[in-house]
Amino acid sequence: MGQEIDDTRFSRQDFTTFQQRLSEETALLGECFQQGRFDPGPPVAGFELEAWLVDAQLRPAPVNARFIERLGNPLVSPELATFNIEFNIEPLPLSGHILSRMASDLQQTWQQARQTAHEMQLELAITGILPTVRDADLCPANLSAMNRYHALNTEILRLRGGRPLHLDIHGHDILRAEHSDVMLESATTSFQIHLQVAPELALRAYNASIIASAPLLAVSANSPYLFGHDLWAETRIPLFEQAVEVGGYEEDAHGPMRRVSFGSGYARASLQEIFTENLEHFPTLLPMLFEAPPEQLTHLRLHNGTLWRWNRPLIGFTPGPQGDKLHLRIEQRVVPAGPTIADTVANAAFFYGLCQALSQQDEAAETRLPFATARDNFYAAARHGLDAQITWLDGDKQPAQSLLLRTLLPLATQGLEILGIDHDEATHYLGIIESRVKNACNGAAWQRAYAARHGSDMQALLAAYLERQHSGVPVHEWDI
């Protein structure tokens, strides 16, 4: 959910002092990279899954504080809006039976949360954008009661000079709207996949994650509708990018530097480059001052949390008997929530396998695919899902479906084998991806097919979606 802060209003001196500390901590992190002062342990996996609370009419239910208090599970936390929550799991070694463990842990928390929801006459939904959400739901009254979110809203609007945010999405339909706050972001719910890696592997893994973004998004797209408009296969992408646009961003050699973006390029020598870019190109949003020693990098980590690259490096600490050890994580943010827990774990399996295989190739994958092409692939996948044309390594352009079946699923299988993932589990979860691709049925395709047959009643669509979601059957097996 992001790091909580103590204040919501800041002085000019707060910004000055924060910038000084951010600069100091960025330099200190640079020393850590130079000296290899990171946890060298084996890869570790984790994730965050965002969800919706809905009422009996399948409309957003803005009661997450009461729900979380009643649930009493530390693995479930509030999100930006009072109708959103977030599920977490404890980090797990990326080997052996991790996929079944992820599924089991998430299912257990999910069932407990659904039981609590039912006691409150509510239901849970995991989907990239709730089909029944309305523009009027995305209002300041539904902003979660956390200082972080209120301060973000205030500072983003301050940087915009009070000008409203403009939403302009051209898909199958065209949607234009204005908002005077950041609540548009709350309509985008994601499955954020975390990969902790050893420092010597971080550079290749980060670039591999960037390259993997397009096929991962094509196969997992699940957000075609917003306010009843049929837009992109994964409308979360343009919606989030426009929802926190501050304006007045800087230009560099790669174009505008936006706070939500595909990034400005591959990392070349070290992930330190990303944190240097954070310092030099992005104004502070939350200048909360901490008394922690510089070695805890609290200001750097908070600042990084206000930049939402679709692939984001994270700095964390691993507890140990000799004290906490600094570690590097990659957060893959492109995947929408849903449609089911089985689909969710399958998406994670595909990402982990593909990222591992790409990062282990003899010739670095990023030397075989220009960053601009990886970025074009990403937006093509967001627009068209499994119908996208993707240019792969060495200029090999082909439809997403054939690329996934002929090249990428075998690569993901190889990557999971390298990681030591149980063969049967890898086969099962990658088999879900394979069937999804063969049937051309991700969440977005199913929603559009249902609407084409039954009409564009978003409440009826969501009711049918939830009935199938709660059966646990993967989306490629859903009827319409």
Query: Structural domain of residue 295, as residue ranges?
Result: 12-468
Name which of 345, 29, 324, 23 is nearest 202 in CA terms: 29
Any domain includes 240: yes
The CATH number given to whatever domain includes residue 460 is 3.30.590.20
Which pairs count as long-range contacts for 67-76, CB under 8 Å and 24+ apart, including other chains? 67/116, 67/117, 67/120, 67/122, 70/116, 70/119, 70/120, 71/112, 71/113, 71/116, 73/109, 73/112, 73/113, 75/109, 76/109, 76/113
Helix (H, G, I), strand (E, B) or coil at 241: helix
pLDDT band (50, 70, 90) for residue 253: very low
Helix (H) or strand (E) holding 351: helix 341-359
Q: What's the gap between Cα 54 and its chain centre?
A: 22
Q: E strand or H helix at 197, and its extent?
A: strand 191-197
Position 247 scores a pLDDT of 54
DSSP β-ladder status, 44-54 and 123-125: antiparallel
Q: Which residues have CB under 8 Å from 127's CB, separation 6+?
A: 52, 189, 222, 223, 336, 337, 338, 339, 443, 462, 465, 469
First to last CA, the chain: 34
The answer as to whether 7 is a domain residue is: no
Cβ neighbours of 69 (radius 10 Å): 9
pLDDT band with cut points at 50, 70 and 90 for residue 7:
low
Phi-psi region of 224 (alpha: psi -120 to 50; beta: other; left: phi over 0): alpha
Section 53-71 average pLDDT: 97
* Structural domain contains residue 378: yes
**Over pLDDT 90: what percentage of the chain?**
84
Cα-Cα-Cα-Cα dihedral sign, residues 37, 31, 260, 289: positive
Q: Looking at the predicted structure, is the pLDDT value of residue 1 above 50? A: no
Residue at 5 is within a domain: no
Angle 199-220/423-438 helices, nearest 10 degrees?
40
Q: How far is CA 426 from the centre of its chain?
A: 22
pLDDT band at residue 250 under the 50/70/90 scheme: very low
pTM of the entire predicted model = 0.95
- For the chain, how many structural domains are there in total? 1
Confidence of residue 439 (pLDDT cuts 50, 70, 90): very high
Is 479 part of a structural domain of the chain? no
Residue 443 belongs to a domain? yes
Task: State pLDDT tens for residues 8-56.
Answer: 578 899 999 999 999 999 999 999 999 989 999 899 999 999 999 999 9
pLDDT tens digits, one per residue of 382-438: 999 999 999 999 999 999 999 999 999 999 999 999 999 999 999 999 999 999 999
132 pLDDT above the threshold of 90: yes
Distance in angstroms (rounded) separating the CA atoms of residues 61 and 72: 19
How far is Cα 290 from Cα 297, in angstroms, rounded to an integer?
A: 10
One-letter amino acid at 94 equals L
| pLDDT at 359 > cutoff 60 | yes
Q: Is 478 part of a structural domain of the chain?
A: no
**Other CB atoms closer than 10 Å to residue 73's CB: what's the count?**
15
Query: Tens digit of pLDDT for each residue in 276-316?
Result: 999 999 999 889 999 999 999 999 999 999 999 999 999 99
